[in-house]
A and B are shown apart, each in its own frame.
Chain A
Amino acid sequence: MDDDLPTDFQVIVVGTGLVESIVAAACSRIRKNVLHLDSRDHYGGLWASHNFEGLQKFIKEITTDPSRQLQVYNLIEKWYIPKESQEVKQEGEDGKTEDGKEAKKVWSQADFASEYRKFNIDMTPKLLFARGPLVELLISSNIARYAEFRCVTRVLTWMSDKLMPVPCSRADVFATEAVSIVEKRMLMKMLTSIVGYNEEEMDNEFKDWTDKTFQEYLTHKGLTPNLIHYVLYAIAGGTNAMPCLEGVRECKKFLMSLGRYGNTPFLWPMYGSGELPQCFCRLCAVFGGVYCLNRPIDTVENKTVDDKKVVVIESKSKTLTCDHLVLGINEGPKDLLSQEHSDSSDISRAVFITNGTIMSSEKEPLTLLRFPPLNEDNNATTVLEVGPATGSCPKGLFVVYFITNKVVDAETDLMPYAQKIFDMSGGEQTEASDKPKCLWSLFYNVKDTSATVRDGVEGVHVCAGPDAGLDFDRAVHQAEEIFKKICPGEEFLPRAPDPEEIVFEDDVTHGPEFQGEQEDADGDKE
């Protein structure tokens, strides 16, 4: 069906992960001739979001043929609910209990299967900082119009063995009852000064702190243990060992992104992070990029054609040539990618589907929870809880992601954290409980491939897989670096014109005046 695929391109991109997709868009945008392939039948690679059926397929592939997906290991899936629905005891005729609350639905595995399309479960869930590089890139390139986002509504931390909201904004700080007035002043002074430093002042202020920890700095500043917890674990997302300068930078990033959209510094893409690579792919296609999924490549080699070095690719017994090949880490022939992998920075991930939020709130919450390490060997753990309003799951459910740097394996690393906030007993779903019930769980480790990336063949640029970081900054940075190597001196994703700005040549027939308006030019009259 794809035998009429053209064979000569300036740039061929293999793999539709985020880094590859940004590079594809950037090259196509400046009118490079781009072919974008993926060996799978879906976009995103390890950056994809899957519906429940797609996820089952992914799990099956890992467990039956691990060689197809070398980046993922230690995968354990577990159900906490029965296979088929049982007779539902109706407590009221309209499914409501006596106190007027909606009765909790009792979920079965069959229900998940029948509502599979309402799930969008992320392999690489991440947040965008409201003033971070990805948001700026989406806006400046005009790719933002392809996606919708929701604001993270709250940041929580785990303190004194319970969940606590973290005051994010000035208003939050002053509204919270968790800290005293004296502490509030102290905290505001500290945060204000961090935001105010420019690079030079920062170097000056922190010149004696380069080999000390952020915790030592905060203690030195006279912050109380309460405040140190908020700043170090929740705002900076650090541990006791976090170097001072890194902590300051993380805090600054957090604070600088406040006040742009919503009450926290973070955004979550509707339908999950897996939408983002597709947005960049669309821009690539809009500027002429050719797309072909289900198209694995077999070999890659250099050849000289007419005194010009080219990269030659064999794919389904077809020969493709290009000047530059951009290769996702899990797409390339194995001999092309270096094997010097150490698992020191691998990622432990878990996904839970629950029947309620970890902390009730008036409207459906979208939560970032940052756990300090529960014991000394552990790393800090990031938790993201998303609900039906994000397009992640059917009504009545929440999807909760756990991310940390691997110590032992995903289950050992993350289970203690999950047990703090979920009821993992698998008991009756309707019984009253102060914690949401876990209905389904998935643990897995992912290799951090950033260190192994090496360009083996001339003209071949290898893209790392997903990292453990909270944001997309590393991916954006890597994509820009690769683009600069392919197209030195060219602008990285200049703004794509709005439809109104496109002038079609030889306008022969003139119809009625164009009445369209720019999609975001209208104000709010709600």
Chain B
Amino acid sequence: MDMATNRNAAAQRPNGAPQTKVCQFKLVLLGESAVGKSSLVLRFVKGQFHEYQESTIGAAFLTQTLCLDDTTVKFEIWDTAGQERYHSLAPMYYRGAQAAIVVYDITNQDTFGRAKNWVKELQRQASPSIVIALAGNKSDLAAKRMVEFEEAQAYADENGLLFMETSAKTAMNVNDIFLAIANKLPKSESAGGGAAGGARRLNDADAPRSSSCCK
């Protein structure tokens, strides 16, 4: 979490024209089981929704790219893979995460209480500069609403969180919440990439390769 390097990511082309920056960010999802974490991601990444989505087996790691004005933001999205269920989420899950979406179900007050706990946990465990968004999911079920919009908004404001009510089913605010996060993330200098410049992922290529930091 130590952004030790201080490289300027916006490399100049030889002719002096600024090159579009590509910043990669790790985004983690948190929230109780069955609030729709995987559904939100699946909607955002694949534009799909499954009413009876089972716990997502084998797909807890997705990537999606958003283009802002002068920057391409690439999200590497981590799903909990169910490890939150018995309070056994591994610390490596938060490592180097620059953004988090804490999800609750607007029809279930308990999940909102748990979401507040996840926010606390992030404030304690994750990088101090992490951007946190609160998502009140299942807004299509407003008739069964148990968590008032104003209550959640007030909580988000107090804690400096982005907040939206979303629906993975109707796609309402799904792209918007990711876009809001992308806009809030710092995209200068050492932004993006893993924990610190010079750290690397392993891959098949034998040739040395520099970090996954902004290119």
Contacts and interface: CB of A to CB of B under 8 A. Distances in A.
Interface of A: 1-2, 5, 42-43, 117-118, 135, 138-139, 144-151, 259-262, 267, 270-271, 275, 278-279, 281-282, 285-288, 290-295, 364, 388-389, 391, 395, 496-497, 499, 502, 504, 506-512, 514-520, 522, 524-526
B86 A391 contact: no
Nearest to B86: A292
A502 B59 contact: yes
Contact of B200 (A43, A149, A281): A149
B90 interface: yes
A323 B214 CA distance: 48
Contacts of A290: 82, 85-86
A281 B215 contact: no
Interface in B42-75: 42-43, 45-50, 55, 57-65, 74
Given A292-B86, A506-B50, A517-B74, A286 B60 contact: yes
B172 interface: no
B188 to A, nearest CB: 16
14 contacts: A43-B90, A148-B195, A270-B196, A281-B90, A282-B60, A282-B83, A285-B81, A286-B81, A287-B57, A291-B86, A504-B46, A517-B74, A519-B63, A524-B215
B91 A43 contact: yes
Interface SS of chain B: helix, strand, loop or mixed? loop
Residue of B42, B57, B171 with most partner-chain A CB within 10 A: B57
B2 A517 contact: no
Contacts of A391: 1-2, 95, 195-196
B150 interface: no
B86 A515 contact: no
Contact of B195 (A42, A151, A270): A270
A496 B58 contact: yes
A270 B63 contact: no
Closest 9 CB pairs of A and B: A511-B47, A285-B81, A292-B86, A291-B88, A278-B90, A148-B199, A516-B63, A278-B92, A144-B202
Contacts of A2: 86-87
Contact of A138 (B63, B74, B95, B202): B202
Contacts of B46: 504, 511, 514
A468 to B, nearest CB: 25
A270 B92 CA distance: 10
Contacts of B209: 524
A499 B63 contact: yes
B194 interface: yes
B15 interface: no
B96 interface: yes
Residue of B81, B90, B209 with most partner-chain A CB within 10 A: B90
Contacts of A267: 202
B92 A518 contact: no
A261 B208 contact: yes
A70 B8 CA distance: 51
A522 B215 contact: yes
Nearest to B79: A286
Contact of A504 (B50, B76, B92, B95): B50
Contacts of A292: 86, 88
Contacts of B57: 286-288
A389 B81 contact: no
B153 interface: no
A470 B102 CA distance: 40
Contacts of B203: 139, 144, 520
A388 B22 CA distance: 26
Given A389-B198, A515-B64, A287 B58 contact: yes
B215 A525 contact: yes
B82 A275 contact: no
Contact of A516 (B42, B65, B171): B65
B204 interface: yes
Given A149-B199, A282-B81, A270 B95 contact: yes
B176 to A, nearest CB: 14
A272 to B, nearest CB: 10
B162 to A, nearest CB: 22
Residue of B4, B57, B58 with most partner-chain A CB within 10 A: B58
B45 to A, nearest CB: 6
Contacts of A525: 11, 215
B210 interface: yes
B48 A511 contact: yes
A369 B61 CA distance: 37
A497 B61 CA distance: 10
Interface in B1-59: 1-2, 4, 11, 22, 42-43, 45-50, 55, 57-59
Nearest to A284: B81
A524 B202 CA distance: 14
Interface string B121-161: 00001000000000000000000000000000000000000
Nearest to A279: B92
B45 A514 contact: yes
B142 to A, nearest CB: 21
Contacts of B83: 281-282, 285, 291
A516 to B, nearest CB: 4
B58 A286 contact: yes
A24 B202 CA distance: 22
A507 B53 CA distance: 11
A526 B215 contact: yes
B118 interface: no
Contacts of B50: 504, 506, 508
Given A146-B92, A279-B92, A519-B63, A260 B199 contact: no
Contacts of A271: 92, 95, 195
B82 A291 contact: yes
Nearest to A283: B81
Given A271-B92, A506-B50, A514-B45, 20 more contacts: A145-B61, A146-B92, A261-B202, A282-B92, A286-B59, A290-B82, A389-B198, A391-B1, A391-B196, A395-B4, A497-B58, A502-B59, A504-B48, A511-B48, A511-B171, A514-B46, A520-B203, A520-B212, A524-B210, A526-B215
